[in-house]
Structure 1
């Protein structure tokens, strides 16, 4: 087939950006019409534009649209979207009504992470010859894969709760609190895994750990109170400073040897929760991040997702089925069982177990970091992406099957 003509580099990148945004938003709309959160369609959009769909159907068009130069530019801007998203995610992490539901939240959070983590480690041990990356750190591989199985995506969960009318219910608040704890724990665990294994950075595990510990101490002892004082002192004029500091923190953790997203999430945690400026920051950044920047990140995920690596062999199919089954059952039993042991009624425990099973964007981020550091190979990454997509997609239908209106909406806060 005749190659398509070359285009001006800037025009080429902008055209690719337009295609990515349109495809991801169209599929997000389709997903919403089928009762799914938009992120399901956005993930599919990235897969459609990658080697799993577009390249086999139109090789010349795919090669022309997504040249190595364009892919490099999309990757950089996608990383900006990832950093911005993690900053916003950190700024929204909070525990609602912790005194009233502290025991319940603790039980659910522990069950929803520990049992899936153990299941993920077991699956990773069995499938290591097929899905381990080129970095020869078997312990880091097992821990990282287990961590990827234990995640609940807080932003996706929030969307589902709003769509279901459960965002103001007690169950909704408890689920969000558990997801916030899980996100914070996941990033801390991933940081420790990368540091202890020496996969990230070139200065050695001990130096990385010392630098990370120093940054965390400096952050909460010096930066957090100083930031709160500045926000109260200069009000709206602090907006550029907040954005600049988020970028600086991301750059700092990248230099240390961890992913830039870790620094962005850490700085987001520092922001005062009830300042008008912080709400304004989230309002101004969220729309552009959701519509433009995150689809570019999903495109980079799609470009690394090769579905034929799974479907091309019986082992791939078997491993995918095992991962999805173990991820679903362990999350459902762990979260639902934790809720039941903490005293919630049986039906509410079922809802909690179902809600905590959605993974979405957060799972993709952890999977992408694992691929970046060669903890998993393409097959392992593809399985994690498909698992995130399937577990997120089944959350809404399962909730409707169980019932979402009674009795949780009538429960007092």
Structure 2
């Protein structure tokens, strides 16, 4: 399968290369805006999955290759290596369309995160989960805020930017973490369950914190704040009193229908995610906040809801997320680092601080919860994975001018590096399980 993808990619690249070599032939071939967008979207999806497959071959999570595919499109790389292709295909109208589709992908991705959040693990290991979550959030957040003090305008551009930057460093990527645990055959172990539950709770807290930061950044008058609080409270009451019971009843009815066609549940779920996203966008928050909340309202362990979400998950991961990674790459500029040694030094400091504080914070919480030192370090190493979740937060920060271009690029690189290092760090002898059965004990 990988060989067929590689063949298709090389063929496509060869055709485009031949067109680009003949004095604007590529521009003539994709003169129509829709054709240009379809060509760009198809090539991006293909490149993303190709590099994702290659990443898994070298022992990395697929998302590492997908992120790299997006970074290849940045002005500092594609713009320098192949400027004819960039100017011919990635025109402003195409980039604008990709950004719109990327927002749709983010809404569905975060909705699925909320739908997958299960409180059963929290109830079973409440103390350990609470301590690991608290440690993994507070220490990176505090150090991230402190880093912005000497860094000043190199990173931030808003009075609440320090809080945003600290939150970005405190993120753990739940989907990537789940994939790593599955690849290492740890997802079904008690340690794996503890890590996944802690990451899920931490993500929920982080999204709520992000909402509070967005309120602080966007609301200037007391009257506006009162309107926002009132509208948010009304939406919460409506969700709990009306929407959640209605969704439970609809899911039960869909389950009773079995595999018969005609159920409207998938359409209702898509509508609900988009409607809640639109509501929080209208309130001045980000649309993903509403999508996450709607996901939390869904009944847990419903076969009908699970089946509907699996179809949506497939399309989101195959088609929509690669386009989001492309928009991440298009906004990334390595030229913002330039040859200034202070910029590269700051990247090294932020990367080291992000990794050390995340590992120590989570490991310290685990040890306070009664776990051994080796298991605690293993948990801290896993919680250090940031992946696509930090990319989402960084994109929000850039869009709302909470971080500048340099700060955004720095966060993208931290997300990529911490995700790529998660697997290799777990293979260090000091973190290995000896014997293997020790992984199943907490």
Interval containing the TM-score (normalised by the shorter chain): over 0.9
Give me the whole-angstrom Cα distance separating, in 2, the residues matched to 1:202 and 1:40.
Answer: 44
Offset of residue 404 of structure 1: 5.2
Give me the whole-angstrom Cα distance separating, in 2, the residues matched to 1:251 and 1:312.
Answer: 42
Which of 272, 295, 304 does residue 277 from structure 1 map onto? 304
* Higher RCO (C-alpha 8 Å, min separation 6): 1
Match of 1:411 in 2: 440
Offset of residue 218 of structure 1: 2.1
Alignment TM-score, normalising by the size of structure 1? 0.95
Give me the whole-angstrom Cα distance separating, in 2, the residues matched to 1:203 and 1:16.
Answer: 45
Match of 1:158 in 2: 178
Offset of residue 238 of structure 1: 2.1
Alignment TM-score, normalising by the size of structure 2? 0.89
Answering whether residue 80 of structure 2 is matched by residue 34 of structure 1, we say no
Larger radius of gyration: 2
Give me the whole-angstrom Cα distance separating, in 1, the residues matched to 2:422 and 2:107.
Answer: 26
Answering whether residue 346 of structure 2 is matched by residue 322 of structure 1, we say no
Which of 196, 215, 218 does residue 198 from structure 1 map onto? 218
Offset of residue 226 of structure 1: 2.1
Give me the whole-angstrom Cα distance separating, in 2, the residues matched to 1:408 and 1:359.
Answer: 28
Which of 199, 209, 214 does residue 179 from structure 1 map onto? 199
How many residues matched? 409
Match of 1:337 in 2: 364
SS of the counterpart of 2:125?
helix
Give me the whole-angstrom Cα distance separating, in 1, the residues matched to 2:166 and 2:268.
Answer: 37
SS of the counterpart of 2:403?
coil
SS of the counterpart of 1:52?
coil
Offset of residue 29 of structure 1: 1.1
Which of 252, 255, 271 does residue 282 from structure 2 map onto? 255
Offset of residue 405 of structure 1: 7.1
Offset of residue 409 of structure 1: 6.0
CA contact (8 A) 1:158 1:176 kept: yes
RMSD: 2.0
Answering whether residue 152 of structure 2 is matched by residue 123 of structure 1, we say no
Output one character per residue of 1:180-206: Cα deviation in whole Å (capped at 9) or x when no partner: 001101110010111133269998333
Which of 203, 212, 216 does residue 232 from structure 2 map onto? 212
Match of 1:351 in 2: 378
Change (3 A) 1:113 1:406: farther
Give me the whole-angstrom Cα distance separating, in 2, the residues matched to 1:229 and 1:200.
Answer: 41
Give me the whole-angstrom Cα distance separating, in 2, the residues matched to 1:404 and 1:285.
Answer: 37
SS of the counterpart of 2:374?
helix
Answering whether residue 87 of structure 2 is matched by residue 68 of structure 1, we say no
Answering whether residue 405 of structure 2 is matched by residue 381 of structure 1, we say no
Match of 1:81 in 2: 105
Deviates more, 1:310-319 or 1:103-112: 310-319
Give me the whole-angstrom Cα distance separating, in 2, the residues matched to 1:351 and 1:108.
Answer: 12
Match of 2:399 in 1: 372
Change (3 A) 1:410 1:61: closer
Output one character per residue of 1:258-311: Cα deviation in whole Å (capped at 9) or x when no partner: 111111111011111111111111210111111110000111110011112124
Unaligned residue ranges in structure 1 (runs of 5+): none
Give me the whole-angstrom Cα distance separating, in 2, the residues matched to 1:200 and 1:237.
Answer: 42
SS of the counterpart of 1:274?
coil
Unaligned residue ranges in structure 2 (runs of 5+): 1-20, 256-262
Answering whether residue 136 of structure 2 is matched by residue 112 of structure 1, we say yes
Deviates more, 1:219-228 or 1:243-252: 219-228
Give me the whole-angstrom Cα distance separating, in 2, the residues matched to 1:200 and 1:258.
Answer: 14
Offset of residue 17 of structure 1: 0.6
Output one character per residue of 1:147-203: Cα deviation in whole Å (capped at 9) or x when no partner: 001010000000000011100011100000001001101110010111133269998
CA contact (8 A) 1:196 1:206 kept: no
Which of 225, 241, 250 does residue 221 from structure 1 map onto? 241
Offset of residue 126 of structure 1: 1.9
Give me the whole-angstrom Cα distance separating, in 1, the residues matched to 2:402 and 2:223.
Answer: 19
Give me the whole-angstrom Cα distance separating, in 2, the residues matched to 1:182 and 1:275.
Answer: 24
Deviates more, 1:94-103 or 1:374-383: 94-103
CA contact (8 A) 1:200 1:257 kept: no
Change (3 A) 1:164 1:203: farther
Output one character per residue of 1:126-154: Cα deviation in whole Å (capped at 9) or x when no partner: 21221113xxx41x211111100101000
Give me the whole-angstrom Cα distance separating, in 2, the residues matched to 1:373 and 1:16.
Answer: 26
Give me the whole-angstrom Cα distance separating, in 1, the residues matched to 2:349 and 2:144.
Answer: 10
SS of the counterpart of 1:51?
coil
